[in-house]
Amino acid sequence: MKPHARMLVAGVIVPLIIAAAAAVTMLFTLPSLPDPVAVHWGPSGAPDNFGSPVSFIVVILVAVLAYCAFALVISRAAGPQTANLRALLAISPFLATVLGVLGAGSLIIQQGLADAHDAPSILPLVIIGFVVGLVVGVAAWFFLPASTPVPVVDEAELPLLDLGADERATWIQRVEPARWLGILLVAVGAIVVVGGSLAVWVSAPTSTFVGYLVTMGVLVVLVTSTLFWTVRVDARGFAARSPLGFPRFTVPLADVESATTIELNPATGFGGWGLRWGGPGRFGIILNSGEALEIRKKSGGSLVVTTAQSRQGAALLNSLVRRVE
Amino acid sequence: MYLSVDPSSSTPLFEQLVAGIRAQVIDGSLAQGERLPAARDLADSLDVNVHTVLRAYQVLRDEGFLDLRRGRGAVVTARARDYAQLGRDIDRVVAEAQKLDLTPSALTAMIRKAFE
C-alpha cells in the first residue's frame, strides 16, 4: 500500500467505519431505551444530564466527521511526512474508538430501563473506551508510514566561500520569532498572567496568589528563552544559544557532515513552531517560515534553524569543514 | 553578520574588523537598529582579544556607524544611509587616479588633504 493510501485508511476510512458501526449499534438500541436517556454522568458516577438518544448519535458522528475532515486535509498537505503528522493521523481512529465505545456503550447499558435516572455508572465504559482506543491508536501509528528520511544532498551543490589557510571567520546571527508569532505569544501570555492573577487574587488565599505569580514568572522566562537565539558558525563549529545560556545546541566542527540552506514551511515541514522534531534525528529551532540553515551531522541526524543569511552560514561551515579535512 | 580576519596580514586586526563591519553597514547588509554580537562573543568566535573587538567598535562609534550603550551593546546607527552615489564617485576618482599612475597611498593623501 502506498504511503498516502495508508494515511487515508488510518486517518479517515477506519475512523469513519468505527463511527458508522457505533451509530448503527446505537440505532438498534433505540426501541428498548427510556426517553429521555442519560447523556452525561457526574463525578459521583450517577447520570446528571438527559437528552434525546438521536441527538447523542448526531453529536458523536459530527465529532468524528470533523476530525476525519481535518485528517484528510493534513494528509494531503505537501511536504515531508513528519512524526507530528503521523501522531495527528493516529489520533483519528483513537478518537473514533473512544467516542464510539462511550456512545454505543452508554446506550447499551440503558436498554430496558424505565427511567434513565437508574442508569449505572459509566466509569467502566470510560476505562474500556480508553484502553481499546489506545490499542487502536498505537496500531494505527505502526500502520502509518514512517517519517520520510532527510533527503540526500548533492556534494557538488553545497555552498562554499573563499577561505585563506590562516583566515579566521565567523558568522553570527540573532534569531527572533516572526512578528505575528511574537505578538500572539505576548497577547496570550498577558491574558494568562493578568487574567489568571486576578482570578486567583479574588478567589484564593494570598499564598496561592504568590505561588501562581512565581509559577507564571518561571514559565514566561522558560518560553522566552526558547524564542530568542544567537547562532554562530566558526572554527569550533555551530552553536545556537538562548539568552540564558540554556537551552543550547552545538555541533562541533568534527561532527559536521555538511550544511545547506533550505526553504521551510513550518506548517508542513515541521508541523508547528518552537523546538521540535521533524523526522527521526532531525531537530529544529523553528521560529519563522522561509529560509533555514540545516546542518547534517556525521553522527547522524540534523539540526535545522530558521535564520536570515543562512546561505552565508552554510557556506562558511562547509568551507571550514573542507579546510580541516 | 559574516566577518573574517587574517592574522598573517600586515593590517592590524582591529582595522580588519572595522573595515569588515563598515563595509556591511554601507552595503546595507547590517541594517539600522541591528545589534552587533557582544564583544566577548565575537572575540571568542574569531579567537582574538576582546580589547581588539572593543577597539574596533569604538572606532566605528567615532565614525558614527555604531552606538555603544551599556547593556544594549553595539547598535547600528541611523547614519547607515544610502552610499550608492558616493560609491560611484569613488569609482570615478580611482579610475582617474589609475590613469595618472597614482598609488593608493598618494590618492589617500590627496583625499585627506581635501578634508582639512
Residues A165 and A206 reside in one and the same domain? no
Residues A253 and A189 reside in one and the same domain? no
Residues contacting residue A1 through CB under 8 Å, at least 6 positions apart: A9
Residues A216 and A257 reside in one and the same domain? no
Decide: A233 and A313 in contact? Cβ < 8 Å: yes
User: Residue A312 is inside which H or E element, if any?
Assistant: helix A310-324
B48 to chain A, any CB pair closer than 8 A? The answer is yes
Residues A79 and A163 reside in one and the same domain? no
A171-191 residue pLDDT tens? 999 898 888 888 888 888 888
A214-262 residue pLDDT tens? 888 888 888 888 888 999 999 999 999 988 887 899 999 999 999 998 8
Query: Which residues in chain A have Cβ-Cβ distances shorter than 8 Å to B1?
Result: 171-173
CA quadruple A97, A99, A102, A106: dihedral, nearest 10: -130
B115 to chain A, any CB pair closer than 8 A? The answer is no
Q: Reduce the DSSP state of residue A204 to 3 states and report it.
A: coil
For residue A44, tell me if it sits in a domain. yes
Residues A159 and A208 reside in one and the same domain? no
How many angstroms separate the CA of residue A252 from the nearest CA in chain B? 13
Residues 142-181 of A with CB under 8 A from B: 163-164, 166-174
Inform me whether the pLDDT recorded for A313 exceeds 90. yes
A293 to chain B, any CB pair closer than 8 A? The answer is no
Inform me whether the pLDDT recorded for A306 exceeds 60. yes
Q: Are strands A168-175 and A47-51 parallel, antiparallel or unpaired?
A: unpaired
Residues A122 and A24 reside in one and the same domain? yes
Q: Which residues of A192-203 are buried (b: 16+ CB within 10 A; e: fewer)?
A: ebeeeeeebeee
Q: Could you tell me which chain B residue has the CA closest to the CA of A241?
A: B41
Nearest-CB residue to A166 (from B6, B35, B48): B6
Inform me whether the pLDDT recorded for B6 exceeds 90. yes
Task: Indicate which CATH number applies to the domain containing A305.
Answer: 2.30.29
Distances (CA, A) of A88 to A126, A132, A137, A275, A285: 22, 18, 10, 18, 21
Residues A56 and A137 reside in one and the same domain? yes
B36-83 residue pLDDT tens? 998 999 999 999 999 999 999 999 999 989 999 887 789 998 775 667
Percent of chain A with pLDDT over 90: 31
Reported as a pLDDT band with limits 50, 70 and 90, residue A301 is confident
B103 to chain A, any CB pair closer than 8 A? The answer is no
Q: What is the domain extent for residue A210?
A: 179-225
